[in-house]
Amino acid sequence: MATASELPHAVCVELAREAIAAGPDGYSPVAANERARQFRDALLGPVINATGVLLHTNLGRAPFAISTAAQATNIEFDLASGERGSRQTAVGGLFAMLCGAEAAMVVNNTAAAVLLVLAALANGRDVLVSRGESVEIGGGFRVPEVMEQSGARLVDVGTTNRTRLAEYSKAMSRKAADVAVVLKVHPSNYRIDGFVETASVKQLATLGVPVVADIGSGLIDANCPWLGGPPPAWLANEPAARQTLADGAALVTFSGDKLLGGPQAGIIAGRADLVRACQQHALARALRPGAHVLLALQALALAYLDRTVVDVVPFWRMAATTVNDLTVRAHQLVAAAGCGEVVATEATPGAGSAPNAGIASVGVRISGDHLVALRRARPPIVARNRDGVTVLDLRTVNPADDHFLVEALRVCAS
């Protein structure tokens, strides 16, 4: 438990003042300490994700180490010429290579990527979007609102459940139509089933205007060559950057911290002239990431090119762990803690990626609801409660943190 002495003196003084002001009986050390504990718990810090949701949006999606060396970098300096360079050159080049694209660039997140693409390519002009893709994704990414902020005009095409290629053609041949791009949005976190029809990127690419595909979760290659085997079944409905570009998309946009497995970022990849237009737009300056994010993305991209993804990228290491390995760990945990039971669970990719897909997993369960006690552990542990039974899913826990689970289980059982 945090004590007041772990906080800066000025904070302790402030909290003691607040305790005095709030307490009818004046200052009490217990009340001041409780305030100190609450203050410390509200600070940002590492957490153990035992929820089984691999990309937990509230827990920072993909865990990925960011370099913290306090050193200058050649972020905007061309070492060959000694002149000013672009922060997009190195990392953009790596992502272009990874995606099989002419060019690529990086911004702060996918919302920023879509905003920048539309502002740079379609300001004051029409953008065609299927009604079935005019959706809200995750924490308030709403396609019509992003569109409005970019200055582009949204032209709805088709119906919620069915949009055919001919309907896009019709929208293009409207009187006074001024179509800059067709936007295809992957409806990441929801699915329309049944009587459904959509136009594919391949079909849309025949329309004669650039197709921008917001694929969202950042699967680089549908074949997952970094796994050294066939792609897992839970990825079946996820569009991938390489294949979407090969199908004729002029640009793809995707997240850095979903299936890519890296830090929060948004990547724009595709035709060189369109990427250049995005880089030259005034908003690019406002949406650009800092050196730490670029360094982390560079390490990530090199791991993909090196096929060391499963060793270097925690998301893919968690996703690729076998049920057998998880079972062994679970038995070790139960034996070390002297309580709990090994249980089969179902983990999920999370962050709106592959919404209906489950990944077979293994956990440790302990009867009773212990979520509060687990959150008070150091580091805090976030688990799930199912009908009064607490379940710690091991797929999302770094094996190096298992000893924290052992301690916490002992506390829960005592």
Ligand X SMILES: *Cc1c(COP(=O)(O)O)cnc(C)c1O
Residue whose CB is nearest to ligand X in the complex, by number: 216
Minimum CB distance to ligand X smaller for 219 or for 382:
219
Give residues 323-352 in contact with ligand X (rule: CB under 6 A): 352
| Binding window for ligand X (CB under 6 A); candidates: 209-217, 230-238, 322-330, 335-343 | 209-217
Question: How many Cα atoms within 13 Å fall on the side-chain side of residue 19?
Answer: 20
> Cβ(180)–Cβ(209) under 8 Å?
yes
Q: Check binding of 261 to ligand X (CB under 6 A).
A: no
Query: Which of residues 214 and 402 has its CB atom nearest to ligand X in the complex?
Result: 214
For residue 9, what is the enclosing H or E element? helix 9-22
Pair type for strands 136-137 and 141-142 = antiparallel
60 binding ligand X? (CB under 6 A): no
**Amino acid at position 147, single letter:** M
Contacts of 60 (CB under 8 A, 6+ apart): 257, 264
Q: Does 56 bind ligand X (CB under 6 A)?
A: no
| Residue 363 contacts ligand X per CB under 6 A | no
Residue with smaller CB distance to ligand X, 219 or 364: 219
**Residue 174 has which token pair?**
């409207």
130 is a contact residue toward ligand X (CB under 6 A): no
Pick one of 64, 95, 141, 315: the residue that binds ligand X (CB under 6 A): 141
Helix and strand totals (H; E) in the chain = 16, 18
Taking alpha carbons only, the member of 114, 133, 196 closest to residue 162 is 196
Task: Please select the residue that binds ligand X; options are 150, 188, 198, 348, rule is CB under 6 A.
Answer: 188
* 266 binds ligand X, rule: CB under 6 A: yes
Residue from the set 98, 106, 122, 137 that interacts with ligand X by CB under 6 A? 137
315 lies in the site for ligand X, by CB under 6 A? no
CA dist., res. 193 & res. 353, Å (int) = 17
Q: How far is the CB of 141 from ligand X (least distance, A)?
A: 4
92 binds ligand X (CB under 6 A): no
Given 52, 63, 158, 216, the residue binding ligand X (CB under 6 A): 216
342-348: long-range contacts, CB 8 A cutoff, minimum separation 24:
343/391, 345/52, 345/391, 345/393, 345/395, 346/52, 347/52, 347/53, 347/54, 347/393, 347/395, 347/396, 348/52, 348/53, 348/54
Residue selected from 138, 314, 355, 380 as contacting ligand X according to rule CB under 6 A: 138
CB of 377 to ligand X, least distance (A): 29
Q: Is 214 in the site for ligand X (CB under 6 A)?
A: yes
Residues making contact with ligand X (CB under 6 A): 109-111, 137-138, 141, 185-186, 188, 214, 216-217, 255, 266, 352
